[in-house]
Amino acid sequence: MSHNVTRLALLQACNDLLQPARFKDYGPNGLQVEGTDTIGHMVSGVTASRALIEAAIEAKADAIFVHHGLFWRGQDGTVTGWMKQRLQLLLAHNINVLAYHLPLDAHPEVGNNAQLGQRLGLQVQGVFGEQNLGLWGMRADGQAFKNAQALADVVSIVLQREPVVVQTPAREIRQVAWCTGGAQSYFEAAIAAGVDAFITGEISEPQVHLARETGVAFLACGHHATERYGAPAAAAHVAAQLGITHQFIEIDNPA
């Protein structure tokens, strides 16, 4: 039987789990939009898009937990257009929005990186990159992937989408580094860590050349596709701890 908790109790539980004060981030972590004082039902999703907000209203949610919130460094700060529409819906329905960006990537159990590694059957052996957000390791069974395509085949089955693969020359993949979302700038740190392949969400033009020149395979597996596991894992953990109900709402995104 579920019950209600205060907004403060929910925020405290999320902060205790994800420790946002430890990170330098691109936007505010924690409560981004204040809604009702008491929460009985929480939905989670990847991004605080209008589609997710509308689905949360339909689900009679009191709080939305996301990885990508509404506010980012460098925005002009005006409430017009799409921002006005999102906020208007949230305020009219008194819904709280909690957003955790880098803290959700980094958590060793419910984080995006940890969750992706688990699904791909990878065992973490170390961290790399800025703020130690990236993970590297090997297959849990100790076996190597025959080549980058064999790794890509596993990724496409797990994530249900074909990754963009840059691989040359063909080589056995024993050590894999990964960092979800838009972490293509971590590729050089992954190469320096001595891995055979790097998995992230996106690829930019320079990484193609680095992959070809270093022989380290680059797999771009989708920003959304790699980051849809942390938010429901964290939100489910907190909801179970507090005794409130939770559901994950998937809003399809090809990016």
Decide: residue 171, CB within 10 A, 0-12 exposed, 13-18 middle, 19+ buried.
middle
Which of helix, strand or coil describes residue 80? coil
- Residues 128-183 have pLDDT tens digits of 999 999 999 999 999 999 999 999 999 999 999 999 999 977 899 999 999 999 99
Considering Cα of 147, then 148, then 149, then 151, what sign does the dihedral take? positive
The H-assigned helical ranges of 127-243 are 148-159, 187-192, 205-214, 223-226, 230-242
Length in residues, the chain? 255
Q: Who's near 184: CB < 8 A, 6+ residues apart?
A: 200, 202, 203, 204, 207, 220
Which DSSP letter does residue 170 get? -
Percent of the chain with pLDDT strictly greater than 70: 99
pLDDT at 2: 66
Decide: residue 34, CB within 10 A, 0-12 exposed, 13-18 middle, 19+ buried.
middle
- Residues 120-129 have pLDDT tens digits of 999 999 999 9
Cut 0.85: pTM above it: yes
Cα–Cα distances in angstroms (integers) from residue 44 to residues 11, 96, 228, 242, in the given order: 14, 12, 10, 15
Average pLDDT over residues 232-246: 98
pLDDT at 170: 84
Q: What tokens were used for 150?
A: 């064999």
- Residues 76-108 have pLDDT tens digits of 999 999 999 999 999 999 999 999 999 999 999
pLDDT at 168: 75
